[in-house]
Amino acid sequence: MLNRNVRIALTGTAVAVALAGCAGSMTPGPSDAEARAKALELMKAGFNEKGIAKMDRLTQDETQALCSQYAGGAIPKDVAAKIEQANMAAIKPPSDGKYLGDWKRGEQIAQRGTGFQYSDTKDTPVGGNCYACHQLTKEEISYGTIGPSLYNFGKIRGFTPEMQQYAWGKVWNTQAYSACSFMPRFGHAGVLTEAQVKDVVALLMDPSSPVNK
């Protein structure tokens, strides 16, 4: 139902985009909106549920649909603002008001890349895999560069309550701050639990964390 509404909304926007001459394809073919609808059909027919990965993973929420639509080009400012507002409104603060958990557990979560793949089970420990994309500590030299370096995250920005809240929001739902960021919305999507998000925030914001050494 939601998916259908999104698709209708998408079609309208896509026509506007095509008229504006922004259909980014390298070669002539079907129109942008037709191609997107047909591609989704192809994917629904071309994937099988396997283990914990069910077919509903191909059902996009509005953020995913808009970010797919504008991928490969610039996102219009009003669309970006709409995405950020909706995701900001969806951020859930910690139930006890405390943002920092245990940075040592946070480090384990940052190192771990498993969880939610069809090769995992419901019981596979879930990680945030932060090091896949970010530098975090001096000790870990095997880090990726898709995201910015987070080394000295708290030290640079200050160990203030405002920064704790910001770090919480970035880990919980990064698209509240940066529409169509490549980063998963760890808390929002239920990938990490509230306790795990606290541990990751502690890794970033605890003065004794190796991130801030």
Pattern of binders to another protein over 43-82, x per CB under 8 A? x-xxxxxx--xxx-xxxx--xx--xx--xx----------
Give dist(CA 147, CA 132) in Å, integer. Answer: 9
**Is residue 146 part of the contact set for another protein (CB under 8 A)?**
yes
**Is residue 21 part of the contact set for another protein (CB under 8 A)?**
no
In the complex, minimum distance from the CB of residue 83 to another protein, in angstroms, rounded to a whole number? 11
In the complex, minimum distance from the CB of residue 90 to another protein, in angstroms, rounded to a whole number? 13
Q: Which two tokens stand for residue 136?
A: 């975090």
**Is residue 145 part of the contact set for another protein (CB under 8 A)?**
yes
In the complex, minimum distance from the CB of residue 209 to another protein, in angstroms, rounded to a whole number? 20
The set of residues, in sequence order, having a beta carbon less than 8 Å from that of 143 and lying 6+ positions away, is 131, 132, 133, 134, 135, 136
Matching residue, tokens 């808009």: 66
Cβ proximity to another protein, 125 vs 190, nearer residue: 190
Angle at 63 between CA 184 and CA 84, to 5 degrees: 85
Footprint (CB under 8 A) of another protein, residues 116-135 = 116-119, 131-133
The set of residues, in sequence order, having a beta carbon less than 8 Å from that of 79 and lying 6+ positions away, is 66, 70, 179
The set of residues, in sequence order, having a beta carbon less than 8 Å from that of 72 and lying 6+ positions away, is 24
CA R_g for the chain: 19
Cβ proximity to another protein, 103 vs 143, nearer residue: 143
**Is residue 29 part of the contact set for another protein (CB under 8 A)?**
yes
Residue 53 pairs with which residues in a beta bridge?
Answer: 50
Cβ proximity to another protein, 63 vs 137, nearer residue: 63
Residues that bind another protein (CB under 8 A): 25-30, 35-36, 38-40, 42-43, 45-50, 53-55, 57-60, 63-64, 67-68, 71-72, 116-119, 131-133, 142-146, 182-185, 189-191
